[in-house]
Amino acid sequence: MQGIIILTLTALILGLILSFANNMLKDKQIEELKKRLPGYNCGGCGHGSCEGMALAIKKDFNEYLKCRPLKGEKKVELEKYIANHIVNKEKL
């Protein structure tokens, strides 16, 4: 019985550590780009998902033009974010 309790507590502690480490290591810029994409994960852009598109935008900011469902306010918002956070950092 003690072994089960110890194993359960160890798994809980390790799970918490991994969860915390995952949150600390996440790329905040990718998360911000994903928020500004439509979120359909349609693959119409040639990337498997909106996360794939966000990764591509980070490498080449013109990739967002391949996103077919991106229109209107979302497109303007993404263009502003790219101009302020990605293009300006490349110039530094």
The pLDDT tens digits of the residues spanning 56-85 come to 998 998 999 999 999 999 999 999 999 998
Dmax (CA) of the chain? 61
Topology (CATH level 3) of domain 27-91: 3-methyladenine DNA Glycosylase II; Chain A, domain 3 (1.10.15)
What percent of the chain is modeled with pLDDT above 70? 95
Sequence-ordered strand ranges (E) for the chain: none
Task: Please check the confidence at residue 2 and state whether its pLDDT lies above 50.
Answer: yes
Task: Please check the confidence at residue 92 and state whether its pLDDT lies above 50.
Answer: no
- Of the ranges 25-34, 49-58, 64-73, which one carries the lowest mean pLDDT score? 25-34
Angle, to 10 degrees, between the axis of helix 28-36 and the axis of helix 72-81? 160
Q: Report d(CA 2, CA 27) in Å as an integer.
A: 40
- pTM of the complete model: 0.67
CA dihedral 77, 82, 88, 90 (to 10 degrees): 180
Domain locations along the chain:
27-91
SS3 26: coil
Task: Please check the confidence at residue 26 and state whether its pLDDT lies above 80.
Answer: no
